[in-house]
Amino acid sequence: MSRLRYPFKENSLDGVFRLGIRTGLLNIKYYAKLSSEYHEGNYSAPHCLDGDPNTFCHTTSESQSQEYLQIGFKDVKFKIEGFAILNRDKFQWDPLNYEIHGSNDEINFETIKVFNENATIVCGNLNNRTNEISTSKTYRSFRLKTTGSPCHTNNTYKFNMAEFDLFGSFEFNECKSNIMKKQFIYRSLETFIFLIYSY
């Protein structure tokens, strides 16, 4: 097995979805979904991965059911080393109490790490939140699942956020690894050349 790594950067969203998948630098298929969607507007899961801080994803349940954002990779496994959250600008339901789960069959999820963040620091703050994770396992899908109330809301597990990004490394066979590395290098060179000649 071979790994293609992404850097973990403090106060940065330069992770998987920014540098690789979302920009098309890597040909890796993925999906994103929410446990429930807020239907008074377009607040679906892909809005948390689109790189636009003005769009956001939003769950809708106000019951005591735990809500989640789930991200899955079709053909590869991923070793998570951290993640970043960018709060929505209105701050009502930014997640505070949650767990990061991993799964390889999309049925059985195991807890990777539990987070109970400080409301005084998180709520009302537009900075990126970055958290590191240490695990030796690789997974095909991940969930950020709420375990308590978000900012400024009591007795509910719903949440929203502007951006979510993963840090870590993909795991795939050697043949696929070489192809993906070449794709990444060639497209990066194309972008670099384009920038030079665009001035």
How far apart (Å, rounded) are the C-alpha atoms in residues 169 and 79? 5
In 3-state terms, what secondary structure has residue 139? strand
- What does the pLDDT look like over 91-150, one tens digit per residue? 678 999 999 999 999 999 999 999 999 998 888 888 788 899 999 999 999 999 999 888
Asked if pLDDT for residue 90 goes beyond 80, the answer is no
pLDDT of residue 66: 87
Which CATH superfamily does the domain covering 2-197 fall into?
Answer: Galactose-binding domain-like (2.60.120.260)
**Is the distance from CB of 151 to CB of 83 less than 8 angstroms?**
no
Asked if pLDDT for residue 179 goes beyond 50, the answer is no
- Within 10 angstroms of residue 165's Cβ, the number of other Cβ atoms is 25
76 vs 127 pLDDT, higher one: 76
Which residue, 61, 7, 63, 2, is CA-closest to 35? Answer: 61
pLDDT of residue 89: 78
171 vs 114 pLDDT, higher one: 114
Which residue, 66, 149, 148, 151, is CA-closest to 109? Answer: 66
Q: For the chain, what is the mean pLDDT?
A: 82
151 vs 9 pLDDT, higher one: 151
In 3-state terms, what secondary structure has residue 64? coil
Residue burial 88-125, b: 16+ Cβ < 10 Å; e: rest: beebebbbbbbbbbbbeeeeebeebbebebeeeebbee
Residue boundaries of the structural domains of the chain: 2-197
pLDDT of residue 36: 87
pLDDT of residue 91: 67
pLDDT of residue 175: 45
The letter for the amino acid at 55 is T
DSSP assigned state of 19: I
How far apart (Å, rounded) are the C-alpha atoms in residues 16 and 182? 17
Q: Averaged over 11-30, what is the pLDDT?
A: 81
pLDDT of residue 149: 86
pLDDT of residue 24: 78
Q: Within its chain, how far is the Cα of 101 from the centroid?
A: 12
Q: Averaged over 166-178, what is the pLDDT?
A: 71
Q: Averaged over 15-19, what is the pLDDT?
A: 85
Q: Averaged over 162-167, what is the pLDDT?
A: 93
Backbone angles phi, psi at 194, to 5 degrees: -60, -45
157 vs 193 pLDDT, higher one: 157
DSSP assigned state of 23: T
Asked if pLDDT for residue 188 goes beyond 80, the answer is no
In 3-state terms, what secondary structure has residue 106? coil
The letter for the amino acid at 139 is Y
Structure-token pair, residue 33: 């979904």
Asked if pLDDT for residue 160 goes beyond 60, the answer is yes
Q: Which residue has the tokens 């769950």?
A: 59
Element (H, E) at 146: strand 141-146
pLDDT of residue 69: 96
